[in-house]
Amino acid sequence: MATIENFNFKDKKALIRVDFNVPLNDEQEVTDTTRIRAAKPTIIKVLEDGGSAILMSHLGRPKGQVNADLSLSHIADAVSEIIGVNVLFVDDCIGEKAEEAAANLEPGQILLLENLRFYSEETSGDEQFAQSLSKLGDVYINDAFGTAHRAHASTTVVAKFFEGNKCFGDLLAKEIEAIDKVMTSGEKPVLAILGGAKVSSKITIIENILSKIDHLIIGGGMTYTFVKAQGGKVGDSICEDDKQQLALDILQKAEELGVKIHLPVDVLAADSFSNDANTQVVDVTNIPDGWQGLDAGPVSMQRFKDVVLESKTILWNGPLGVFEMENFAKGTIELGNFIAEATKNGAFSLVGGGDSVAAVKQFGFADKVSYVSTGGGAMLESLEGKTLPGIAAIRS
C-alpha cells in the first residue's frame, strides 16, 4: 500500500484530496472540526519534508452552481488554526487563477482551492476536469475516506494523471487498515455489533461479514424483525414484516457457519415514542400490544457484556436503542463502556456508521476505542465487500 511514508515531498507540490465537508452555523463558522483535524498528519508530513500542500474538497451540495454560502473560504481560518500555518485561498479550483496560485506556492505553504462541486464535472467524473486539477501538483494524495466510494473527478479520475506519484494519506491508510483488521487479519474471536432500525439497510453487510466473524450481536429496531420471524410478539415495535424470511435465512446461515447470534432477551418498552412515555422491562418475545421496544434490557446487557469482553476484534455499527432520547440511551452507553473496557484489555475496536459515531462522540467514547471511522457511506460499502473507486485508483 503506497502511503505518504513512501514519499519525500521536498520541493514537491502535493495535491491532496481532503474531506472538509464540515458543518457550518448561520455565521458560516465551522461547528465540528473533526474532519479537518483528521487531515492534519498528512498535511504536516508534506510540509515537514519541505513540500507545499494544495488542498481540494467539496462542501455541501451546490450542484454545479457557485453558491457563496458553500464557499470553502469560510473554513480557511479554521484550517489555519488547526494546522498552525496560515492557509492561502484561491476562489477557483481549475484554470488560470488556480494554476497561478499553485505555481507561486513556496515550500511550507498551504493553498486551499474553492469548492470542487461548483463544477458539475466533479461529480460526473469528467476526465478533462480531472486533468485540469492534475496540473496543480506533482504528487496526488487521497486522504478523503468519506468520499472514497464515489468515482468523482478529484477522488478517482485524477489519479490516472499521477502514474507512480500517487498515494494514500495518513487518514485513508488508517481507515483501510482498520477495516482490514475486522474483515481479514483481526485476532479471534471477532465480534460484529449491528444496530439501527432496519434489517434491509444492513443486509448486505451481514451477508458479507458472516463468514468472517465468530459472534454477531443484533440490537436496535432490527431486533423485532428477527423476534417476530421466530414467532415472538413484538407489540407496536418497529418491524419489517417483508424481511422476516430474510431474518430466518440469516439465522440459518449463521448456524451453518458456526457464528453465534446474540439477540436481546429483554427490552425496555414504552407506551409511546417519547422520552416521557411510561416504560417497563419486558420479555423481548412478549411485548404487549400498544407498547414498543426502545432499548435493550438489563439481562440482555449482561449477556452482551460477556460476549464483548471475550472478543479480541470488535466492529460496532449502529446503536442498541433510541439513544437520542435520554431514557432510552442506557443500552448504547453501557455497550460503549463494555467496548471501552475490552479495548483497554487489548482488543481492537472499530466504530463506524453515522449513528454509532454520533453516539460515541456524544457519550465521550471516541478516545476509548481503537478507531472511529470518518466515512459513513464509504465504511458501509467497505463492509459490504465493495471495492471503493477512490482506493482502487491509488492501487492501480
Binding-site residues from annotation for ATP: 202, 293, 324, 353-356
Which residues are known binding-site members for substrate? 19-21, 35, 58-61, 117, 150
Annotated active-site residue 198? The verdict is yes
Annotated active-site residue 346? The verdict is no
- CA-to-CA distance for 381 and 256, rounded, in angstroms? 25
298, three cell numbers = 438489563
Phi and psi of 178, rounded to 5°? -65, -45
Which residues touch 48 (CB under 8 Å, ≥6 apart)? none
Which residues are known binding-site members? 19-21, 35, 58-61, 117, 150, 202, 293, 324, 353-356
Annotated active-site residue 354? The verdict is yes
Q: Are 255 and 311 in contact (CB under 8 A)?
A: no
- CA-to-CA distance for 272 and 394, rounded, in angstroms? 50
**Residue in 35, 174, 243, 330 annotated catalytic:** 35
Give all strands of the β-sheet with 87-90 in edge-to-edge order: 87-90, 110-113, 52-56, 13-17, 139-142, 166-168
Which residues are known binding-site members for (2R)-3-phosphoglycerate? 35, 117, 150
**Residue in 40, 303, 305, 377 annotated catalytic:** 377
- Residue 234's CB is within 10 A of a number of other CB atoms, namely 23
Q: 298: cis peptide before it, omega within 30°?
A: no
**Residue in 233, 260, 312, 354 annotated catalytic:** 354
**Residue in 160, 198, 303, 361 annotated catalytic:** 198
Shortest CA distance to 23 belongs to which of 56, 54, 69, 66? 69
Catalytic residue set? 35, 198, 354, 377
